[in-house]
Each structure stands twice: as structure tokens, then as C-alpha cells.
Amino acid sequence: MILSELAACVEGARIVCCDRAAAENTKIGGLTADSRFCGPGDLFFCLTGGKTDSHAYAGDAEGAGAAAVVCERDLDLKIPRLIVPDSRRAMGLIASGFYGRPADRLKIIGITGTNGKTTTSYMLASILRRAGKQVAVVGTLGIYYGKKQIAPELTTPDPLFLHKIFADMVKCGVEYVVTEVSAHALFYHKDEGISYAACIFTNLTQDHLDFFDGMDSYKQAKKRLFDVRKCPVAVLNGDDPVGREIGAERSESSENAEGPENPGEPGEAKLSESGLRPQVPDSTHDKPRTIFYGLEAPSEVFAVVTSEDLQGCEFMLNLSDSLCRISLPMTGRHNVYNAMAAASAAMALGVRTEAIAGGLNEMKPVRGRLEWVGKYRGADIFVDFAHTPDGLEKSLSALKTHCRGRLLCLFGCGGNRDRSKRAPMGETVAKRADFGILTSDNPRFEEPTDIIAEIEKGYRRVSDRYVVIPERERAIRYAVGILKKGDVLLVAGKGGEDYQEIMGIKYSYNDNAVIREAMSRRPPL
């Protein structure tokens, strides 16, 4: 593409160069935001708002052969400068244009919230596959579509990579993309250039306060996803106060919106042979819709739990008066919420009730999400990604209900992240578990014992029934070794991660593998 075509993607963009005509026709062969990987013909993005202002590296990009730069202020360069109001917003829009606006040919469902994003995304993907659709999943566990798997880097990939992947998804025949959308991604406008078919809100509890200056700014970042101008269908947790708040704001914003009234309930639409109803709304002129799900507050989608145990739960699901029975291989009320969120979005997209039930009933446990690892000496062992006070509360509460012996919890906190949640996490485990094993998570550039000391402050407010073992593998071997019949062990914090980050190095590591090795060391009693 040429520079003028990319400039047209961004309102207020202007090209600056001594030879304007030649600059407009500058050929762009690639996009990059890292001067170290900039090559001849690339368009280099100068970004602000992070740890560094990469305008300082524009000269390096020019020296590496960049054809032009995107910047927020003019720079002393010989190559053309595309000056934009906000380079982070521009990055997504330009990436979309460069790759031929692939997101417009995909039905993208965005999921945000503190907890539950990954599980909800896999549940929705399972439902859509049951409906006969080609589905991609983007999130914490990586990117999956067709036979392709891309290792995880960020919950929400950077726009330059994301739109490139979208383009490949289109070539591979993908129809639906279920993607996690983190608060950081929303704060940095990483989803510019994406028009969503629907968006899901799971919940909001404390996390990431190392980055956001308070819960309100964290909440405001999450709420960006549900702007009625880019989110035609919002699926909201009606039992979460922020979910209700988002719904009220959408209602107020759409009062003066043009377009026809909501075209009837989903059940009134004619079914297609593929198992999908026509997408509602099917254009940006339709009135935005909001669907609530919940177990407590009145909601369009709700459930009645009929049985639960450590291996899963069963419930009757009501989808706007269309009923189906669900049997999930995952325990805990929080997973019932995740299932309701996925089912609500599928319903809004026109999936038949039979396909929704089939997709959920065919679900396999999600890697590292309250995943049952095995039984040892008559005790059950689970791995979970829970790394917030609320996440630990929900997982421990789910396991405690069915624990016939002691409930043990092994956990730590990530280094160089939200320190304010460390003591509350310790207090939560002390309240819900019978015994705690405090250890290292991803210490990054912090000393593990310093992190554990902050956890202890909260733990000791409630209990002294814990042990400190900083080295995580040794801690797991200890925890497995003290298990007795009827006990339940929760190994929390890392979930399905296959590394442990220490002093900037990611070492190969996986909780599940370490647990299995520990189980094989000692003969079960």
C-alpha cells in the first residue's frame, strides 16, 4: 500500500515531508513499532503513554530503512512523517487498513472482566463449533484456529500482530473469533479497527492496581468495550453492580439512537439450516441490545443449579424461556456464570438452544482453570489460574463445599504487579482453606521472600496455619506429600502457564507437570 491510503484510515492524519507528492506515494511494505526489528520499506509507529516515548527511536528506524514514521509531533527526519492525534489509536486503524480490514469479514466477540474470560471464551467457542461454525480463540492460553496454534504472549495481542492474524484467519475460512480483551488493551486502544458482533462482561474485582491508579480507572477501561458505537450487543453479568451500571449507561446512550426497534425476541427469528439465526443486529443502524444473565437479579438468562460435586455441576438453563439441561465437567458457581455468559452471547448471535446445550455439554475442562489433575492417597488435586482475592474466594468456596477432609491451598503473588492485593489474597486463603502453603509465583524482578512477607500480613490476621516454602517445585512436593484421604489441594496462581519468570528470564515450568511428578515419587497410601 502507499502512505496516503493508510493516512486515509485515520481522521486528522496529515503527511509532512519536503516533497509532499512523493511522500503520499511512498510504498509501505510492513508495519512495526519496534525500531530493533525495523526493515527497509516499513512504517514505524512512534508510541507514547508507556514506559518510554518511542519518538526517541524514530532516527534508528530511519537508519534501518523505514519508509515513513507515524508520530504525534513532527520530527527532524528526511523520510515522510504521518502525524496523527493519537499514535496508539492510529496503529489499530492503520493495521486494519494495511491488511484489508479483515475484522470486517469476521464476527468477533470480545470478552472482558477480571475473572472468567478464558473459560467463557472456550465455552462460547464450543457452542459455535457445535453450531457448525469455524471458530478462532484468542486469549491468555494463546491463539487457536484451524490446525494452527500460536503460543501466548499477551492476553490481547498488539494491533499490528492481531490484524495480521485476522487476515490469515479469513484466508483459513474462520467465521467467528472469540477474543479476550484485557483492561490494558482497552486503555491503550488496542482494539481500534475492530467492529464487534457482541461483547461480554464477566465481573469486576480488584486487580492490576499497579497499572491503574484505582478501581474507578480500572472500571472505566473495561467499560470502553461496551460503547454503543462499536458494541451492538452487550452481554452483562446482572449480579455484578458494574454489569448493571454498564447496562444503564448503554440504555441512556441509545435512547436517541436512530434505527428500528429491537426486532423481536431471538426465538422469533427463522432458523437457518446451519443452526444459526440471522445475526441481530445485522447493521450499525440497528438499536443496540443489552442482555443480562445471573443467578440472583432478574435476568433474561438464568440458571437453577440441581447438583454439584468436585467433578462438575448440573443446572437447568433458561434462555429467555427456552430451557435446556446442562452438565458441565467443571465445578463451582463461577463456572455456571461463565456458562450463562457464553450461552447468552450465543443466543444473541442466533444460535439454537439445542446447539447451545450441546456445546456446553460437550465441553472439556479448560487447561489450568480449576482443572482436576488427579487423585492421590484419596485426595483430589486441582490447578487454577486464580490470582486475585475474588478468584481465590470463588475457587476455594467451590472446593470447600465438597471437601470431606482438609482444604489446602498453595499459592503466591506475581512480582512487579499489584502489591495491594497480596495481603487480601493471604486473608482470603486463611479464611477459606484449612492450611496454606505460601510460595513463589512469577517473582519477576522482586525477591520472592519479600512478596511472601506481604502475603503473610493478611494471612496472619486470620490464621497461623500455614508454611512458607519459597521454591515452588519444592512447595508442591511438600503439599502433595502431606495429603490424606478426603483432602483437597488447590494449586493456584499460574494455571496453565508453561513458564516461571525470574529476573527477566522465563524458565520452563508447569504446575500440572510438577504435581504429576510429585504424585509419582511416593507410592499412594
Residue 120, annotated as binding a ligand: no
Residue 417, annotated as binding a ligand: yes
State how far Cα 403 lies from the chain centre: 30
Angle at 340 between CA 336 and CA 342, to 5 degrees: 115
DSSP for 35-75 reads GGG--TTEEEEP--SSSS-GGGGHHHHHHTT-SEEEESS--
Residue 322, annotated as binding a ligand: no
Contact 493, 370 (CB under 8 A): no
Residue 175, annotated as binding a ligand: no
Three-state secondary structure readout of 265-304: CHHHCCCCCCCECCCCCCCCCCCCEEEEEECCCCCCEEEE
Residue 444, annotated as binding a ligand: yes
Task: Give the DSSP letter of residue 201.
Answer: E
Which three cell numbers mark 296?
440472583
Residue 290, annotated as binding a ligand: no
Residue 458, annotated as binding a ligand: no
Residue 449, annotated as binding a ligand: no
Residue 114, annotated as binding a ligand: yes
Contact 9, 15 (CB under 8 A): no
Residue 439, annotated as binding a ligand: no
Q: Which of 143, 136, 144, 139 is closest to 174 using CA atoms?
A: 136
Radius of gyration of the chain (CA): 24
Which three cell numbers mark 167?
487476515
Residue 62, annotated as binding a ligand: no
Residue 278, annotated as binding a ligand: no
What kind and span of H or E run contains 347? helix 333-348
Three-state secondary structure readout of 117-157: HHHHHHHHHHHHHHCCCCEEEEECCEEEECCEEECCCCCCC
Residue 35, annotated as binding a ligand: yes
State how far Cα 324 lies from the chain centre: 27
Angle at 342 between CA 337 and CA 344, to 5 degrees: 90
Q: Which of 200, 353, 378 is closest to 291 using CA atoms?
A: 200
Residue 497, annotated as binding a ligand: yes
Query: Rounded CA gap, 232 and 213, in Å?
Result: 30
Query: Rounded CA gap, 126 and 132, in Å?
Result: 10
Specify which residues 32 forms β-bridges with.
44
> CB-hemisphere CA count at 13 Å for 396?
29
Residue 156, annotated as binding a ligand: yes
Q: Which of 419, 394, 423 is closest to 490 using CA atoms?
A: 394
Query: Rounded CA gap, 116 and 211, in Å?
Result: 20
Which three cell numbers mark 326?
446442562
State how far the alpha carbon of 82 is from the alpha carbons of 1, 50, 54, 131, in Å.
14, 20, 15, 45
Residue 116, annotated as binding a ligand: yes
Q: Which residues are annotated as a binding site?
A: 35, 113-119, 155-156, 182, 417, 441-444, 493, 497
Q: Which residues are annotated as a binding site for meso-2,6-diaminopimelate?
A: 417, 441-444, 493, 497
Q: Which residues are annotated as a binding site for ATP?
A: 113-119
